[in-house]
Amino acid sequence: MANHSQFGFQDASSPIMEELVQFHDHALMVALAICSLVLYLLTIMLTQKLSSNTVDAQAIELIWTILPAAVLITLALPSLRILYMMDEINQPDLTLKAIGHQWYWTYEYTDLKDLTFDSYMTPTTELPLGHFRLLEVDHRVIVPTDSTIRVIVTADDVLHSWAVPSLGVKTDAIPGRLNQTSFLTPRPGVYYGQCSEICGANHSFMPIVVEAVPLANFESWSTLTTS
């Protein structure tokens, strides 16, 4: 959950999000090193007189050709690794289908019989004490912890985007097309997200709430819901 005046990411609640935060910090360190080097070279050029030998040196030309290539490699390799990790979905434990509408979500648990519901934003006048305004919904997505959840995302009318930042999930919902993503959360908790694609007048009023619970609690909830 984001806080006021927060500059960084939300606390990572999935292995993929942990990898993304680490890559972000790695890229920032590379950018800091580049900026420091450029500032140092600019300072030298403005304060010292460069000789002709320095300007025409082939060694410098070799360095400023190889060094940028090395920097790009240090950024590309971990980035490609994370991209493949995000795209790989091996034997999911549960499949959830999220359908975007103007302006609410429909969820279908395809592995369970007759478990489908709509999720609307809770109006401010009906919001329980202590809950988050514009982020709470009347029906949360309940998932088990320590389980790979595959999410199939589509839309019924216009473009939407199913995004939960703390889980490292953001997938476009496109009418007539099925996109998929996955996540795994190792601990119980409530994770908030919102539609991240401008989809009309009430785009900012279709939140997403994912509640992760132990497997025994999930089985009890699914039994009560389908009975």
Query: What percentage of residues in the chain have a pLDDT greater than 90?
Result: 63
> What pLDDT, on the 0 to 100 scale, is given for residue 39?
95
Does this model's pTM top 0.95? My answer is no
Average model confidence (pLDDT) for the chain? 89
User: What gap in Å lies between CA 106 and CA 109, rounded to an integer?
Assistant: 10
Between residues 20 and 88, the one the model is more confident about: 20
Q: What pLDDT was estimated at residue 142?
A: 95
CATH topology for the 94-226 domain: Immunoglobulin-like (2.60.40)
pLDDT of residue 10: 86
DSSP tally for the chain: helices H, then strands E: 4, 10
Class of CATH domain 15-87: mainly alpha
Residue 212 has pLDDT above 60, yes or no: yes
- Eight-class DSSP state of 130: T
Q: Are strands 169-173 and 94-101 parallel, antiparallel or unpaired?
A: unpaired
* pLDDT higher than 80, residue 1: no
What CA–CA distances, in Å, run from 83 to 20, 76, 88, 112, 156?
A: 10, 10, 9, 30, 28
For the chain, give every residue range classified as CATH 1.10.287.90: 15-87
pLDDT of residue 55: 55
- What's the mean pLDDT in 192-214? 92
What is the mean pLDDT of the segment spanning 80-93? 89
Q: Where in the chain is CATH 2.60.40.420? A: 94-226
32 pLDDT more than 60: yes
Which of 226 and 224 is assigned the larger pLDDT? Answer: 224
Q: pLDDT-based confidence at 128, cuts 50/70/90?
A: confident
Helix axes 58-87, 15-47, angle to 10 degrees: 160
Instruction: Kindly state the average pLDDT of the residues 3-26.
Output: 89
Lowest-confidence region among 25-34, 48-57, 77-86:
48-57
